[in-house]
Structure 1
Amino acid sequence: MIRTIDLRGTRPNREELLALIPRNSLDVQTASSIAAELISDVCERGVLALQEQAFNLDGVSGHNIRVPQEHIDQAVAELSSQLRSSLEETISRVRLGSQAQVPSQTSTVIAPGATIIQRWQPVERVGLYVPGGKAVYPSSVIMNVVPAQVAGVTSIALASPPQAQYDGRVHPTILAAAGLLGISEVYAMGGAGAVGAFAFGVPDLGLIPVNVVTGPGNIYVAAAKRLVRGTVGIDSEAGPTEILIIADSSANPAFVAADLISQAEHDEMASAVLVTDSEVFAAATAQEISRQAPLTKHAERVETSLNGNQSALVIVDDLDIAVDFSNAYAPEHLEIHTSNAHQLVSSIKNAGAIFVGDFTPVSLGDYSAGSNHVLPTAGQALFSSGLGAYTFLRPQQIVEYTKDALSSVAEGIRSLSDDEDLPAHGDAVDIRFEQEDN
């Protein structure tokens, strides 16, 4: 079901590892032209474009793009007690995890009378995207909204695709999660068009442009976020999910197989990779995958994902190479199932989130760990982080010098400004002391 890549007897360097990494054949750049057309259409035709895209992509028409408050209230009222309790528990845990991400204001005395205050200011308005394709993600509502609220964002808009089975409404559990969090500005729109609507606004819908767009989605959502970056901030290009597991012979093959399958369940383009130094363990995991995968609800989707070029069982000579492989891959989710797991963590440089030990599956992070499940994919963890309160914060420096403190550096400023042929910079300092001399 899943292919094997045998790297034993080799010690690939970073460049060679990058060539060996299993990846989807369709990347964000390939999808950019389609995403650009959808965004441009929304910019030019507004509501008409969103309605047409909903019909073509989601099979719905005549729906409310701006979700009425009564739909949100109804969704909350109709939640089962068990599901409401689960959502509220996740909200509580993610809120605790997010609060730890807000830096405290600091004040640094550079010299007597010279002070710099470092503070963190939230952006004013954000657009949060929640996918609604093959699965329903109320958990993503929580992962987007809670960090924004913790950061202090005052204007929050949410978008999720309209659902044909609910007469064009956003899925009721997504609406309920928004309602539990006090979000009233919700739009039934999806894909690249929704990202464009957030970034540029839709005047005939009363949708004001946002400052930051966040949230996971398909390859076209990821492409759209790349295209609007610069007009707005984004978290990262969170496209089709991926999991990489480093395991040795001490690991449980049933657990590892289940975790690979759990992420393959998301999408046919999902990536599931095991890197191990044990041929026996790789074989045992493959056997477990063959046993478990046909029993899961979305067996066909799982099979497609695991059979794809993006998934593999990789056998290496030792765990040092396994770590090198993982750092080159920069996985969205990294699980470590080894006897020296805590030691290995210190060698991991690139990963969206790291899950350590037999009882810390990615599924935990998807729902109830308190961590955030909106994470960079497709190697973006080389330079991007997962979504958090910090995504919505901007560091600002507040500088204050007294006259004596400025005087102590005036000569240096004059020297530097003259050297850079910007003498007016030095003049702006000198004038503050010339009046005193006269």
Structure 2
Amino acid sequence: MIISEKKLENARMEITLEVPENRVELEYKSVLDKIKNNAKLDGFRRGKAPLEVIERKFMEAADQEVAENLLKSTYLDAVTEKSYRPIAPPEFTFDKVSRGQGFKFSAVFETIPTVEMVSYKGVGAKERSCEVTDADVMREIDSLRERNATVSKKEDGAVVEKGDFVKIKVKRIDDVDPAEADKVEFKEYSIIVGKDKDEGSFDDALKGMKTEELKEVKMKYSKDYSVKELAGQTARYILGVTEVNKLILPALDDDFAKDLGEYSTLDDLKKKMRENLETYVSQKAKSEAKGQLMKEIVTHSTFDIPNSLLEKEMFALFKKVQERTGYTAQNINEFAAALGLNAEDFEKQLREEAQANVKSTLVLSEIGFKEELKVPEEKFREFVELLARRYNKPVEELLQTIEQNGSRESIESELLLDTALDFIYINATISKQKKVSLQEFMKGE
């Protein structure tokens, strides 16, 4: 029986419940009977000891088990009756349970919070468009040729030319004391000269250089340069060439396509490359639009964030950062110290990202709940097929494993979020933008 309900901060609830005396007595009888049937006491056969002996010897254990049983069953009944949606085990507070009286206790637990949001149907977003050209397809194929090229070392004294595969070493010297410049270590890279004409490229400086030659290079970066640490700066480098190689590309013909193992002709390769590019830009544009929709809905939604979800997401993000950097630490402070980061700033960044992720998850969960969305079987199948390709396992074998270990439910929970996002997109007002070139599209908005 629920006596009172109270909403607390961070999506927590406190309920006070009371179990009537007759229900307490029934539980005592059940527990004591079980103890009696299993107890081994000197002078008595199993299950034949008088109940008063059992009570005298095992009442403390009976009190504990009765309390545990009543807490669990009464709490679950209340949660079901009130349609609460707990996301973490409750914390119980109670006095000692005793025979001959009722049992009163309180339970504090986190719930999926009530999300108050604006309409999630008809939300507007802009979706970029891109036209894939023959030249774009050829650039992709040229990249394949470069990855399958052979390398021939040039003679000593040969100069760097466009198309050469060059090993270089670079060190920045403008941000150190001139007297310490010689102590700065070089960083080594391998590049194809003339392939990338980005703002930060050393292409122009490399052309005409020879092996073992060193040159001082000045680079001026724009304010919107992609590397934030260099944006708007003028930097000085020492640039050196350690090896010059001729890149010998395979002939652009049907044999090259066949050697890749997936194509029968060069035209087949070109067709597949175009399909891949068009699929990529379509998915990227749609993903960006979905991001706009989520930002709009989340911004205009109000809800508490359960601490357990926030801490869980922060832990997951921290784990990903460790995997990405290859450094494992016991905690954030240790990790930040090892990588030269400000621990307070790093933790703040993780927390903000975790909050954004949890908010999106809660919104999508609420929409899935309200719309009674289900994960389509074909969507689940596609996900399993993707896993099968990734781990090189037969699809049916992986499906059987998922069913046996009970992981289907957790997989579908994740896929349901994606299903809810698809629902938002389908019901949104999408404004298709004018088509741009692939190069402009890849630079972003």
What TM-score results when the alignment is normalised by the length of structure 2? 0.22
What TM-score results when the alignment is normalised by the length of structure 1? 0.22
